[in-house]
Amino acid sequence: MTTLRMIVGLGNPGPNYAGNRHNIGFQVVDRFAARHRIDLGRTQAKARIGDGWVQRRGDVSDIFSGGIMGFDREKVLLVKPLTYMNNSGQAVSQLARFYQVEPEDILVIHDHMDLERGKLRLRPGGGSGGNNGIKSIMRLLGTDTFPRVRVGVGRPPGRMDPAAYVLQDFAADEETDIFAPLRETICDAVECWLFEGIETAMNRYNG
């Protein structure tokens, strides 16, 4: 029986929030869906979802020789909660129960202010790091043993309110120079988690 893996991006719904720093999780899930041709057109349990297969990327010789790299694949459910960030656990917990997904098979992607801009931290579990979406998921799943990808957006300048900072869009230069390529790297890290596990993904992408 194939194990379903959930990949959850955190953010706020609606066009006004789409480009925000706080929505990096949504942005990564959108990019991952495009990369693997997964349609995010369904709504279930207060979330935008899509399911499909992710093929492990091998070289051409792997695929044509029938080697295992060419034919490894994982079934995924991509999730963008529509409850606003602070209530993300409502959608995640309902979908986890419905699809019978264990916490260790749920990867959550979210922004993190206390991490240098453009840096990644994959973790197998642990605290919320101050993120209210993670707090909600922990509370409603009843555990903190789900892996996550923290995406560094840095601290606000001067005395700027942190909430206002994360609800700003990325500046044009940081979007072009940092976060557009970073989303591709995060997609690579998600694929590494799918096929090689959290420890390998941590060793390869943390830093």
CA atoms of 192 and 177, how far apart (whole Å): 24
10 within 8 A of 81, measured Cβ to Cβ: yes
Annotated catalytic residue, options 22, 36, 110, 112: 22
- H helices of the chain, in order, are 24-35, 60-65, 68-71, 88-99, 132-141, 162-166, 172-174, 180-196, 198-205
CA atoms of 18 and 27, how far apart (whole Å): 8
What is the separation, in whole angstroms, between the first and last Cα of the chain?
35
Token pair 């986890």 is found at 96
Has 22 been annotated as catalytic? yes
92 within 8 A of 81, measured Cβ to Cβ: yes
CA atoms of 20 and 100, how far apart (whole Å): 32
Tell me the backbone φ, ψ of residue 158, rounded to 5 degrees: 55, -130
Known catalytic residues are: 22
